Amino acid sequence: MDLHQDLSVDQPVVTIVIPCFNQERFLESTVDSLRAQTESRWEAIIVNDGSTDGSSAVAHATAQRDPRISVLETQNRGVGHARNAGLVEVSPASPYVLFLDGDDELEPTMLERSVSRLDGDPRLTMVHSLVSYIDEHGQTLPGTPGMHPRYVADRWGVRVLRDTERETPFESILALAGIIPSSSIMRRLAFSAVGGWDEGFGQVFEDTDLFLRLALHGRVEHIPERLVRHRRHSSQSTAEPEHQAAQLIKLHNRWRDVGRLTPEHRAIVKAAWRFCDHQLNWHTARVAIRRSLREHRPILAARFFAGSALITFRSCWPRQYHA
């Protein structure tokens, strides 16, 4: 199959920004998965974020093989800056944007399926697909570790949205639904309207912050297909548990501040917090307590109960929101 044919006939409909830091081993596979797309109307920019390995050479080599690909060299300033910087350097004409990590891969129909959904509903600010996991050799890994389902409030407490239920509401994203940048294509006007990536937020949960802003701006929708291969490998940068906890607190503090929002958005955010602080809090506590009791660890079960009670108590305190 000649993936180099008819590359400049159509105006791009999707801009792909690929931030890359020390991903020499995987970058070519990532780009190959992009070049294998059934939707060929795309442009891509690889942002080499100050890599110290051979990523720059790989990026320029791939760009030489495909005129739809360009390379931007930057100093290492973090993934948020790399993503924003890349978007500035490409054509403003394409209506959609995908921020594809330099070690992930796309299934061949990812762009086609996502563009079709966005074209079909102008209310959509973003669509996101399911993901599968691969190891450093590209072999499929079982399960989806760390991925939360799309939780929503139910009459009896909590339920998980079915695949046939397309909309991913604000409350599901606040509950950390399993969405990653590589699986999400955004409407470019909406991305700009909500301010893009917050470079000052820091890595971990910076994507959730953006997804929440997009969910308030319009409708976010789920595509029930595994269209992205998300890579897990030993050299992957993973935050320490303490840093993750600190970033989650930062995210929560930002979204407790409802005074900056319109009255309509304020009501949506407050309702989502009531769900997370009450139904979802007790749902996850019950699961943890039952597991602890099965493992004959009653003290741990008591701690889970006490922690959930404290969250509920604090959520009832009116000063939790900054109006």
Task: Give the model's pLDDT for residue 49.
Answer: 96
Residue in this structure with the two tokens 């900056």, named with its chain if needed: 260
Instruction: Give alpha helix (H) positions in 11-166.
Output: 24-35, 55-65, 79-88, 110-120
A 10 A CB-CB count for 215 gives 24
32 and 148 inside one domain: yes
Closest residue by Cα to residue 106 from 169, 49, 183? 183
In the chain, how many domains are there?
2
The pair of three-digit structure tokens given for residue 30, joined into one six-digit string: 């990532």
Per the CB < 8 A criterion, the answer to whether 123 and 219 are in contact is yes
CATH of residue 75's domain is 3.90.550.10
Query: For residue 63, which phi and psi values (nearest 5 degrees)?
Result: -65, -35
Place of tokens 């493992």: 295
Q: Are residues 272 and 304 in the same domain?
A: yes
Q: How confident is the model at residue 2 (pLDDT cuts 50, 70, 90)?
A: very low
248 assigned to some structural domain: no
Structure tokens given for 120: 């079909």
Residue 46: which pLDDT band, with cuts at 50, 70 and 90?
very high
For the ranges 6-20, 100-114, 229-243, the lowest mean pLDDT is seen at: 229-243
295, part of any domain: yes
Q: Which helix (H) or strand (E) holds 106?
A: strand 105-106
Predicted pLDDT at 9: 45
pLDDT at position 311 over 70: no
**Domain end marker among 191, 215, 241:** 241
Is the same domain home to 236 and 267?
no
Residue where a domain stops, chosen among 215, 241, 267 = 241
Whether residues 287 and 263 share a domain: the answer is yes
Q: Which helix (H) or strand (E) holds 72?
A: strand 69-74
Tell me: do 179 and 275 sit in the same domain. Answer: no
252 part of a folded domain: no
Report yes or no: 55 and 93 within 8 Å, Cβ to Cβ. Answer: no
Structure tokens at 55: 């990523």
pLDDT, position 124 = 98
- In the three-class reduction of DSSP (H, G, I as helix; E, B as strand; rest coil), residue 280 is classed as helix
Which of 302, 270, 273 shows the shortest CA–CA distance to 288?
A: 302
Residue linked to tokens 């450093």:
136
Sign of CA dihedral 239, 285, 250, 185: positive
Domain shared by 132 and 269, yes or no: no
Answer whether residue 219 is part of any domain.
Answer: yes
Q: Are residues 313 and 194 in the same domain?
A: no
Mark whether 218 and 308 lie in a shared domain. Answer: no
Residues 182 and 292 in one domain: no
Decide if 2 is inside a domain. no
> How far is 216 from 224, CA to CA, in rounded Å?
22
H or E element at residue 45: strand 42-49
- On whether residue 6 sits in a domain, the answer given is no
Q: Are residues 198 and 308 in the same domain?
A: no
Q: What is the pLDDT of residues 253-282, one digit of tens each?
A: 999 999 999 999 999 999 999 999 988 987
Distance CA 198, CA 166 (A): 27
Check residue 138 and give its pLDDT: 82
Residue 126 lies in a domain: yes
Return the axis-axis angle of helices 241-256 and 263-274, rounded to nearest 10°: 130
Digit-coded pLDDT (tens) for 185-242: 999 999 999 999 999 999 999 999 999 999 999 999 999 999 999 998 656 555 578 8
Claim to verify: residue 206 and residue 264 sit in the same structural domain: no
pTM of the model: 0.89
What value does the mean pLDDT take over residues 162-174? Answer: 96
Q: Do 91 and 12 meet the contact criterion of CB atoms below 8 Å apart?
A: yes
Average pLDDT for 85-92: 93
The residue among 241, 268, 302 that closes a domain is 241
In degrees rounded to 5, what are phi and psi of residue 180?
A: -125, 160
At 81, phi and psi to the nearest 5?
-65, -40
One domain, residues 177 and 128 = yes
Q: What does the pLDDT read at residue 7? A: 42
- What residues make up the domain containing 200? 14-241
Answer yes or no: is 8 within a domain.
no
From its phi and psi, is residue 302 left (phi > 0), alpha (psi between -120 and 50) or beta?
alpha
